[in-house]
A and B are shown apart, each in its own frame.
Chain A
């Protein structure tokens, strides 16, 4: 009762009026407004969640919370569990050696069983990184609201869903009430028009935008990606771009669903079938931004300005075209001492070229670049070449389904011939919760999403890049422009 003073329910007639108004609306507004259960005056919206993914790291305390409050899971069929963050990427058939990781995996399995939640644990043929398995099994669909206790949940926005990461308190909210309390973010549209150049991938587009906006440039906003480049992009590419939205501070990013989206979804295991498909498709086709709808901020970039990108610092906004020199602190916004701290950590200096810098490790995988298209790209450079002797390479598929595709398409044969071996699915060296840690002081070209200090292991130094740049580094042993090898 204590809350009633603070809440004002929008009465039904007013709601109807809102929906019937002819004001042009954005894709984001259409999906958001359809999920508001209650608006709280001077407070957040009570926001309904269609799909909830959980994993072993951010869910156990939420389940403990349910128990201590004596409450249950409201809609267990809307939550999907998969183990990914701390799972080993070799010998998955053996018991997990690290007792703490094993304990978290067991907790996920037990909690899922107790509350009737679907669980794809280690060894399950559907297992893989949560943001890879959701889309590839047709769980992620346009127009949905999707959350997970993981900031890269923004990935699912590629389907025209509102998808974002949440904290463990919010995991407990979704489990117990299928809702979270969320203030509606501001709206940003980012257009990239024109045609991408040779060896310029979706990852480069993402790193370019983040470098332009900075690591906090989209905080408080939800992004819609629009324009030629995203319209032509594959679903894998759109997932890579939406995945990285959080790296410029945005809660999420989305792309309007189109024929590319529908073709990707059709026939996937949990996607609607027959009549349900026709009905869903009719709805999905309404999910685009109306002409004249307004955004709080809009940016437009030219595809021809983007080259293969690489990061040189300790946040994802510190990226440059691979042929460029490391910028001078004096030429940048932001604090000079923080910039110097970052370059010191990396062992780099202002105005050095990135090309030619020695690379010790290469990691291809993660929820950013762990899909089949990424391994095809990697193989296109590796084919007919050999891995550099001094490079340790971790090639980690995003899921068992991706692993199977790698084998069936002959990519494994190319990798093996070039001296690479394939590991088993998981988050792996992206955040180094398992044994896949980059040693202190070593340089890793990584297709993952964060180059924070110690992200890939204490003292590790990360250079974020696309699968093509990663492959070029793996075969030459130094930072290399992939355009020279294609």
Chain B
């Protein structure tokens, strides 16, 4: 119930070739003060995106109109640091539905999957190819095919497969979430708790 279904996504991508992008960069702690899940996209990458006087930093990729799309491509170890789901909310709220990297931090990856962002882990070599393709042509499109578990650079047809467990894949394709699942097994949980 929580998010849109995800099957095949064809889109241009925004390149962020920085390693170890931590959740404090994705959304600084001072913007975690809401009690509702609203408006986090405005503060996505806040301190890389805006100066102290709130004017946009021209050299940051989100402020460059050449780049856009529903896919964010980051350097290795994307999403390290805090468990704040707000980082995933900010990425989703900004309009991304997929993050591609050669390595993801554990908690971020789980949070992303739980709210309907697909984390796609590719080889370092394929990540480099994606960055080069976008550098050569910012309108280069990627296709993420979740049922087939493939990511393809449409300009060249180069493709790689990615891993996702069957349970999460099924959930994302159907827009189900874990809470639906857990609610369906409350009696089993109650008897487990009683036996402990």
Interface residues of A (CB under 8 A from B): 1-3, 6, 37-38, 40-44, 46, 48, 57-58, 60-61, 64-65, 69, 71, 74-75, 85-86, 98, 100-101, 103-104, 107, 149-151, 153, 165-170, 172-173, 176-181, 183, 185, 215-216, 219-220, 246, 249, 251, 315, 334-335, 337-338, 341, 431-433, 440, 450, 452-455, 458-459
Known contacts A104-B33, A177-B186; A338/B75 CB under 8 A: yes
Is the Cβ of A338 less than 8 Å from the Cβ of B193?
no
- B13-26 Cβ-contact flags toward A at 8 Å (1 or 0): 00001111010110
**Residue from A43, A64, A334 within 8 A of B167 (CB atoms):** A43
Is the Cβ of A170 less than 8 Å from the Cβ of B167?
no
Which B residues are in CB contact (< 8 Å) with A180?
178
Tell yes or no: B148 within 8 A of A by CB.
no
Which stretch of B58-66, B101-109, B138-146, B152-160 is in the interface? B101-109
Least distance between A340 CB and chain B CB atoms (Å): 11
Which B residues are in CB contact (< 8 Å) with A170?
110, 114, 178
Is the Cβ of A6 less than 8 Å from the Cβ of B170?
yes
Whole-angstrom CA separation of A42 from B81 in the bound complex: 27
Which B residues are in CB contact (< 8 Å) with A183?
165
Which A residues are in CB contact (< 8 Å) with B149?
none
Whole-angstrom CA separation of A432 from B76 in the bound complex: 27
**Residue from B30, B80, B168, B184 within 8 A of A216 (CB atoms):** B80
Interface residues of B (CB under 8 A from A): 1-2, 17-20, 22, 24-25, 28-30, 32-37, 47, 52, 75-77, 80-86, 88, 103-107, 110-111, 114-115, 165-168, 170, 174, 176-179, 181-186, 188-190, 192-193, 196
Is the Cβ of B81 less than 8 Å from the Cβ of A2?
no
Whole-angstrom CA separation of A183 from B106 in the bound complex: 11
Which A residues are in CB contact (< 8 Å) with B174?
2
Can you report 19 A-B residue pairs in the complex whose CB atoms are below 8 A from each other?
A1-B184, A2-B176, A38-B185, A48-B196, A57-B84, A58-B32, A69-B1, A74-B189, A86-B33, A104-B33, A167-B84, A177-B189, A181-B181, A215-B77, A249-B105, A338-B20, A338-B75, A433-B29, A450-B81
Add 9 more A-B contacts to A64-B36, A215-B20, A431-B29 (CB < 8 A): A6-B167, A64-B37, A167-B84, A167-B110, A185-B106, A216-B20, A337-B18, A452-B22, A459-B52
Is the Cβ of A151 less than 8 Å from the Cβ of B183?
no
Known contacts A43-B167, A48-B192; A219/B77 CB under 8 A: yes
Is the Cβ of A57 less than 8 Å from the Cβ of B32?
yes
Which B residues are in CB contact (< 8 Å) with A3?
176, 181, 184
Is the Cβ of A216 less than 8 Å from the Cβ of B52?
no
Top 10 nearest A-B pairs by Cβ distance? A43-B167, A42-B166, A165-B83, A167-B85, A100-B33, A167-B111, A60-B35, A177-B182, A169-B114, A216-B77
Which A residues are in CB contact (< 8 Å) with B28?
454, 458
